[in-house]
Amino acid sequence: MGQQHRLVSGLVVCLFSLSLSSCGGGGGSSSSSSGSSSGVGSSTGSSSTSSSSGGSSGGSTGSGSSSGGTISFVLKNQDAATHAPPSGVTAAQYDYNLFTPNAANFPAVGGTYTDPVFGAPVRRLTNVVGNVNHDDIYAHHWANANGMFAFTNGPSQQLDIVKVADGTKPYSNQPQGSMSYETYWDALDPDKYYYYNGASLIRRSLQAQTNTTVKTFPAALESLGGSLNFQSRDGRYFVVQYDGTAKVWDSQTDTLYAGSFAPLDSTGWVSITPDAKYVVTAGEWLHYSYAIDHTAKSIASSPTMFWDRCGDHGVLISPSDGKSYLVTHSCYNTPGVYRVDLSKNQSGRTDAQQLADNQLLLNVDWPDQDGHFSAVSRGPLADWVFVDTENVTTNPGASDFNSSTAGWTPYRNEIIAINVLTLRVRRLAQHRSRGMGITGDGYFNQPRVSCAWDGSAVLWTSNYNVGSPTGYSDMYTIQSPIQ
């Protein structure tokens, strides 16, 4: 599951006009993608209820709106230089250690503040101060098809649905099935999400508050790692695992493809590329891709070993050049964030050869080498990937609570968007979380960036220098971050 993953100046401004659309009740599909996510099975009722609880509106500073409409903001410091957060000032001036959820100017749920270094409006979506936050946010699109809703588990570990525009919770205590970390938003329909119930794949309608059994497989469904997507961007193809092996299922024709494979590592992940050309399995170092043949309705019998330079933190992306890549770290001899081609066989090739065969996206130094990824999977922004950088050094280090900003380096502890084809980098905000190297509940100190299927919202968690209890964090968002 996601909790198992851990990896061993000049001013340029960009003006964004953000259109925050509201959802008309769910059930509609995105106009930017085609395909169907319908399957077989019948609808059954549910005992879960809908509620209109939610956070307080709270005040905010900087640009932003909690009720929809148009937002404009200016990004600054868009270079490759070091930009440390404010230090030695007051909480009102966003001091790195003093600007915490206890500060008078810190936003309440639904409120925003403007990141003082890079200029993006950051909205707070939850308030669980004093508790461990069990949000298992990660690359598998914690926000839905159009960025309207996001999952949240919170301290109770029940599944609630939070509205990204204002932090309210229109649906609470929704079903999660047999594995809460294997809950996935539908690629096309913003009203729907999936979960496992034994051998059955269930699709949930939020608006109707009903469940549909999409398909019952021959044996109980098993975890894919709780990290990446299990559905293609057209909504048609799924990767599933049962009886210890991963398979591809065509939901439109109800066909299980010939061929299967065992995951590389029980603590790794299995996923399908957005374009449904490959299924991929990742272990602690190795990464294998299996080509999918939709004519023969089969997957390759032998894999391509396309990367063995780092651990399993990464995300699959199928941008507009027609290829599919893994975006991940290199951490063997040379640090950095790389775009890795799934089709290139790297067996027996050296570190230097593998790096030369692929594309450096972000040049980070060793102390800032950790982090998470989430890619836009469909629509006009499908060339973009989000990265959160995580410095986990301690005693003393940037990950310590109440730490100094001395020795700050470029890209340290940031939320970043990168175009994997043009190589354009957009530095959006500093996540300000600490204690990211702490084990156990300290996992929830990690931001674990995640975006909507269409890239209309990016989410992460942060404790903003609050260290008690270990694992406290709240969820934050920037809406329309790369338009």
Q: Residue 464 corresponds to which tokens in the numbers above?
A: 């903003």
For the chain, count helices (H), then strands (E): 1, 33
E-strand ranges in 7-103 read 14-20, 43-45, 53-54, 69-75
Alpha carbon distance 381, 453 (integer Å): 10
C-alpha 479: how far from its chain's center? 14
Question: CB within 8 A of 429, min separation 6: which ones?
Answer: 115, 117, 118, 120, 122, 414, 415, 478
Output the pLDDT for position 65: 34
Strand partners, 452: none
State residue 281's pLDDT score. 98
291 vs 308: CA distance, rounded Å: 18
* Per-residue pLDDT at 289: 98
Does a structural domain hold residue 296? Answer: yes
Asked whether the beta carbons of 110 and 123 are under 8 A apart, the reply is yes
Structural domains of the chain, count: 1
The answer to whether position 188 is within a domain reads: no
Q: Can you give the pLDDT at residue 12? A: 35
201 inside domain = no
Calculate the CA dihedral of residues 82, 83, 88, 91 and round it to 10 degrees: -160
pLDDT (0 to 100) of residue 180: 87
- Residue 89 counted as domain residue: yes
Q: In whole angstroms, give the CA distance from residue 348 to residue 304.
A: 12
In the chain (483 residues long), the average pLDDT of successive 10-residue segments reads: 39 36 33 34 34 31 36 89 97 98 97 97 97 92 97 93 98 94 97 98 98 98 96 98 98 98 95 98 95 98 96 94 97 93 97 97 91 97 97 85 94 97 98 93 95 97 97 96 83
Closest-CA residue to 259 (of 298, 304, 218): 298
List of residues 6+ apart from 162 with CB closer than 8 A: 54, 125, 126, 149, 150, 151, 152, 168, 169, 475
Residue 198 included in any domain: no
Q: Are 71 and 479 in contact (CB under 8 A)?
A: yes
Which range of residues forms the domain containing residue 305? Answer: 2-32+57-166+225-479
Domain-embedded: residue 357: yes
Those residues whose C-beta lies under 8 Å from the C-beta of residue 116, and which sit 6 or more positions away, are 85, 86, 93, 94
279: in domain:
yes
φ and ψ at 354, to 5 degrees?
Answer: -65, -40
**290 part of a folded domain:** yes
pLDDT confidence of residue 483: 66
